Structure 1
């Protein structure tokens, strides 16, 4: 059995399909999606439907991202249009639901409702969209919104002295609880890196699909990764979130 983590998708169904084709999935494989399935490119509703269908064939874990929270709120109440969300991909998501029936939208609400905020596998590897702040681990986090909004975990790692050993009193306590941690949310392309980034035991697999980057899937055992084409090349008549 192989396990893959797939980074942020942001409505890029064509990119997701490219990555899945490269993974050459087999029976028994596990796929953990890191959240942010919607907002950006034109096929957000189609991505959600594709994932629902995919889960009937493979062992899938879908983590909830911040854009998924905003989309779910809108699906539950079409008057709940967060202005910031609308400007950062929400408009394209709303348009992608044109033609979807009330029953289909309800199915998507159930999908979003059931998304966990984090997943810990049998080897004590943690998967979540953004981060957490509790030095005692995710089970003791007091503010669950941090699981899909926090950037301090990744920013701490970027600034961490690489010479600090794991046995040092200065080594970050929150990352010591897990064998590995996989996140999305903060694009690696922000740091001019088009590939997954690894610092300490944390892997960031958001490679900028919302903007000019790619969707990435990584084999968490071998660390081999597979990427789509750049999203603007797959949606040449769209801007995505490159506004």
Structure 2
């Protein structure tokens, strides 16, 4: 059984369908999606539909991203809505994908998915967060800013002895940023690069883009990097 992490999707449903197929994800796998399903890309609705469908076929663990946080805030606050719909955030693309003009166009099942994102996930050998984690603090005690907003930097290995898998910080060259004890797999799918799906045990990763192109490679993950 594999554990496969998928980086920031940001409305790129074609890329998501591509990596699910290319990686051969099946009912024996566990899929961990790292958050930021919404905004910027063309098809947030299609992304969430695809993940909900995937949940019918295999185990999917979905994390919360900072863009889901902003979307939930936008639902409850007019100033937050204005920020979310503003230039650079991408909320307007999310609303447009539902063929509506407001958040009322979004169905309840999709709101439940967005609300249900987890702050982190752990396996025996890895832990998964959207953005980052302070190396000296237990996951359940992490500051929310660290989990959802902090950029990926050359942090020390986490005290748990587990490898960190995260997204959030776009790698604009389209290649995962690998420190050995930590890896960032946000490879700028919405910006014209790639969506990455990583087998965290083998280090094999599969990438697809919105043009339908595919490629794969391998990284070495180990705590003595």
- TM normalised by structure 2 equals 0.84
Map of 1:103-182 to 2, 5 A cutoff?
105-121=107-123, 123-133=124-134, 135-141=136-142, 143-151=143-151, 154-157=152-155, 172=156, 175-182=158-165
CA RMSD, 1 decimal: 2.3
CA shift digits 1:59-101 (9 cap, x unpaired): 0000111111122333456774142553221111111122599
Following superposition, which runs of at least 4 residues in structure 1 exceed 6 angstroms of deviation?
Answer: none
Unpaired runs of at least 5, structure 1: 158-171, 235-243
| Partner Cα distance (1:127, 1:91) in 2 | 28
Instruction: Report the number of matched residues.
Output: 210
**Structure in which a larger fraction of residues adopt helix:** 1
| Partner Cα distance (1:15, 1:65) in 2 | 18
**Structure in which a larger fraction of residues adopt strand:** 2
| Partner Cα distance (1:94, 1:107) in 2 | 15
Whichever of the two has the greater Rg, that structure is 1
* Aligned residue in 1 for 2:170: 187
Corresponding position: 1:220 with 2:190: no
Counterpart among 174, 180, 192 of residue 200 in structure 1: 180
Please identify, of 24-33 and 71-80, the stretch whose mean Cα deviation from structure 2 is larger: 71-80
